[in-house]
């Protein structure tokens, strides 16, 4: 459920008409809803509250939406953070996430990132390989501390999601092999800089069926038993993220957090560990839209092309994952047509939808791509020298720009000319006004 609804024929974000934001900020612009974010936190928290021992740690996967204001909203609601880079760690800390609620995931943590995380005093490192364990131990020893760790275990289950966001098959780059896990833990016990706390698993994203997660968690339960039998003290189990959200209303709704929570309670009963969750998409996916404007409607051989001012650099998901986003006019004209929706970028991949039945639109009309709060702005680039999209956060009647539109002059000014090229007298024309 979200807080993007039509009132008096105009799509609103909470109490704010999107037409007002489009006018004031220009398009394209991402718009997020505080009430929707907070509602999703509440629903997820209630769903998993009774699972594991003590209160579970809900560590928001920062990569889904790293905007500082979004993270601060989540930090205020008591969430931790799952980070995959030093940059995300610093963002989470800047947004007010306490260090002990931060989990560090990822296959390529560098020694510098490890040292940063140890200085900050994060809650847990999820290690993805034995060489990584050795490097972290060495960094921790050099700093005179012990790093709290879990191994991310690859359970070799098929998550049944898009190949680019499936992470739990043995051929994927993630985690240590399930069959070698007991041996890896035994070797890690001898590393002086590590303090083994638990186990971790994450099989993929946009999961629309609970069966693969259930199978993976059951294997983790068996592993916890085997590790304890070998004398390890296992206090935490990190079950990752991945719960899907509805994008296409014509498809079955993915399992709700309540069903996920019930499955987790059932599978993890008797584990005697504190559970950690790393939800990203399910918290912010429906809490954001990409607001764009129609530049022109170009006749096509079959259906017309609706050319909008957003492009694949702003919202990559359709181009990268063949993702489906619902498309709605901010002020519907009352009739519908079938069209292709495309951006201005010089690639055929810059296509948001083909042969889509949608509100009929005309040049100048504002249009929304729904469910763009996760893996939207965060994946944006400046391809075609397009500035990064601004972001707005709505809170009831209030709204605020939480990332300003990047001036194109700033983008150009970031480049510099080497000494062997002549200074361009016209460059002054490019200086920031
Ligand atoms: C991306 C990721 C998540 C979040 O996935 P969602 O599908 O957004 O919930 C959680 N944990 C890890 C390790 C990830 O890489």
Q: Which atom of ligand 1 is nearest to the CA of 281?
A: 8
* Least confident interval from 206-210, 237-241, 263-267: 206-210
Please name the helix (run of DSSP H) or strand (run of DSSP E) that holds residue 290, with its range, or none: strand 288-298
What span, in angstroms and rounded, lies between the C-alpha atoms of 213 and 185? Answer: 23
Return the residue whose CA atom lies nearest to atom 10 of ligand 1: 241
Q: Which of 219, 122, 237 is nearest to 179 (CA)?
A: 219
**Separation of 203 CA from ligand 1 center, angstroms?**
9
**Separation of alpha carbons 269 and 393, rounded Å:** 39
Q: What is the C-alpha to C-alpha distance for residues 395 and 385, in angstroms, rounded to an integer?
A: 32
**CB proximity list for 51: less than 8 A, separation 6 or greater:** 261, 264, 265, 268, 275
The residue assigned the tokens 């079955």 is 252
Output the CA 296–ligand 1 centroid distance in Å. 37
Q: Distance, CA 359 to ligand 1 centroid (Å)?
A: 33
Q: 274-288 pLDDT, tens per residue?
A: 999 999 999 999 999
Query: What φ, ψ does residue 196 adopt, rounded to 5°?
Result: -75, 125
pLDDT confidence band for 433 (50 / 70 / 90): very low
> Cβ(240) to ligand 1 under 6 A?
yes
- Two structure tokens written together for 226: 């085997």
Distance CA 179, CA 345 (A): 46
236: closest CA among 126, 130, 78, 128?
Answer: 126
Q: Is the CB of 175 under 6 A from ligand 1?
A: no
Q: Which helix (H) or strand (E) holds 117?
A: helix 111-120
Q: Assign 352 to helix, strand or coil.
A: strand
Buried b (16+ CB within 10 A) or exposed e, 200-210: bbbbbbbbbeb
- Total length of the chain: 433
Q: Is 40 in the pocket of ligand 1 (CB under 6 A)?
A: no
Tell whether the model's pLDDT for residue 427 goes beyond 70.
no
Question: Per the residue annotation, which of 346, 421, 423, 432 is the catalytic one?
Answer: 346
Nearest CA to ligand 1 atom 3: 241
Q: What is the rounded CA–CA span in Å between residue 15 and residue 350? A: 32
pLDDT in tens, 68-86: 999 999 999 999 999 999 9
Answer yes or no: 368 catalytic. Answer: no
State the pLDDT at residue 166. 78
Atom of ligand 1 nearest to the CA of 375: 8
Q: How confident is the model at residue 224 (pLDDT cuts 50, 70, 90)?
A: very high
Cβ(254) to ligand 1 under 6 A? no
Q: Tell me how far the alpha carbon of residue 156 lies from the centroid of ligand 1, in angstroms.
A: 17
Cβ neighbours of residue 129 under 8 Å, at least 6 residues apart? 107, 176
């Amino acid at each position: 459920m979200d807080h993007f609804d039509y009132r008096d024929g105009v799509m609103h974000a909470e109490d704010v008409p999107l037409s007002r934001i489009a006018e004031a900020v220009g398009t394209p612009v991402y718009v997020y809803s505080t009430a929707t974010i907070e509602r999703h936190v509440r629903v997820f928290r209630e769903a998993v509250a009774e699972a594991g021992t003590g209160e579970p740690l809900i560590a928001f996967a920062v990569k889904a939406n790293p905007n500082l204001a979004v993270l601060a909203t989540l930090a205020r609601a008591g969430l931790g953070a799952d980070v995959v880079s030093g940059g995300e760690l610093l963002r989470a800390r800047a947004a007010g996430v306490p260090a002990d609620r931060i989990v560090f995931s990822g296959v390529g943590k560098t020694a510098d990132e490890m040292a940063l995380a140890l200085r900050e005093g994060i809650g847990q490192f999820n290690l993805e390989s034995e060489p990584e364990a050795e490097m972290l131990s060495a960094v921790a020893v050099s700093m005179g501390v012990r790093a709290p760790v879990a191994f991310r275990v690859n359970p070799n289950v098929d998550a049944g999601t898009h190949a680019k966001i499936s992470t739990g098959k043995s051929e994927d780059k993630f985690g240590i092999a399930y069959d070698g896990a007991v041996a890896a833990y035994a070797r890690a016990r001898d590393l002086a800089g590590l303090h083994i706390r638990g186990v971790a698993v994450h099989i993929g994203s946009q999961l629309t069926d609970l069966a693969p997660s259930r199978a993976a968690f059951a294997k983790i339960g068996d592993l916890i038993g085997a590790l304890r039998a070998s004398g390890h003290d296992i206090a935490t189990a990190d079950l990752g993220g991945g719960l899907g959200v509805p994008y296409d209303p014509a498809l079955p709704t993915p399992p709700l957090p309540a069903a996920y929570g019930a499955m987790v309670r059932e599978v993890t009963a008797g584990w005697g560990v504190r559970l950690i969750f790393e939800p990203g998409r399910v918290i912010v996916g429906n809490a954001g839209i990409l607001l764009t404007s129609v530049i022109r409607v170009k006749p096509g051989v079959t259906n017309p092309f609706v050319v909008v001012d957003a492009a694949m650099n702003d919202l990559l998901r359709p181009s990268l994952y063949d993702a489906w986003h619902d498309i709605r006019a901010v002020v519907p004209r009352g009739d519908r047509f079938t069209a292709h929706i495309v951006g201005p970028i010089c690639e055929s991949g810059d296509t948001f939808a083909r042969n889509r039945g949608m509100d009929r639109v005309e040049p100048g009309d504002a249009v929304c791509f729904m469910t763009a709060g996760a893996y939207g702005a965060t994946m944006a680039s400046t391809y075609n020298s397009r500035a990064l999209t601004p972001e707005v956060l709505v809170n009831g009647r209030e709204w605020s720009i939480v990332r300003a539109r990047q001036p194109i002059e700033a983008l150009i000014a970031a480049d510099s000319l080497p000494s062997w090229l002549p200074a361009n007298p016209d460059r002054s024309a490019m200086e920031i006004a």
